[in-house]
Amino acid sequence: MIKTAEGFNVEKIRNDFPILNRKVNGRNLVYFDNAATSQTPQQVIDCIVDYYQNYNANIHRGVHALSQEATEAYENARRIVQRHFNAKDFKEIILTSGTTHSINLVASGYEKFMTAGDEVLVSGLEHHSNIVPWQMLCEKTGAQLKVLAMTEEGVLDMQSFEDLLNFKTKLVMVNHVSNALGTINPIEDIIEKAHAVGAKVLVDGAQATPHIKPDVQALDVDYYTCSAHKICGPTGVGMLYGKQELLEELPPYQGGGEMIDQVSFEKTTYAGLPNKFEAGTPNICGGIAFGKALDYMNSIGFESIAAYEQDLLDYATQRLNEFDNIIIYGPNTDAKTAVISFNFQGLHPYDVGTLVDKMGIAVRTGHHCAQPIMEFFKIPGTIRASFSFYNTKAEIDLFIEALQKANSMLL
Instruction: Return the active site residues.
Output: 369
Q: How far apart are CA 152 and CA 249, in angstroms?
A: 40
Q: Residue 324's CB: how many other CB atoms inside 10 A?
A: 8
Sheet of 364-366, strands arranged across: 326-329, 339-344, 382-386, 364-366
Residue 154 · residue 178 · CB < 8 Å: yes
List, as own/partner pairs, every contact residues 111-114 make where C-beta atoms lie below 8 angstroms and the sequence separation is at least 24, other chains included. 111/137, 111/140, 111/141, 112/250, 112/251, 113/170, 114/138, 114/141, 114/142, 114/143, 114/170
How do 27-28 and 23-24 pair as beta strands? Answer: antiparallel
Residue 169 · residue 199 · CB < 8 Å: yes
Of 308, 302, 298, 247, which is closest to residue 277 (Cα–Cα)? 247
Give ∠ CA 73-14-309 in degrees, rounded to 5. Answer: 95
Residues 6+ apart with CB under 8 A from 50: none
Of 112, 123, 120, 122, which is closest to residue 138 (Cα–Cα)? 120
Strand partners, 366: 382
Q: How far apart are CA 171 and CA 165, in angstroms?
A: 10
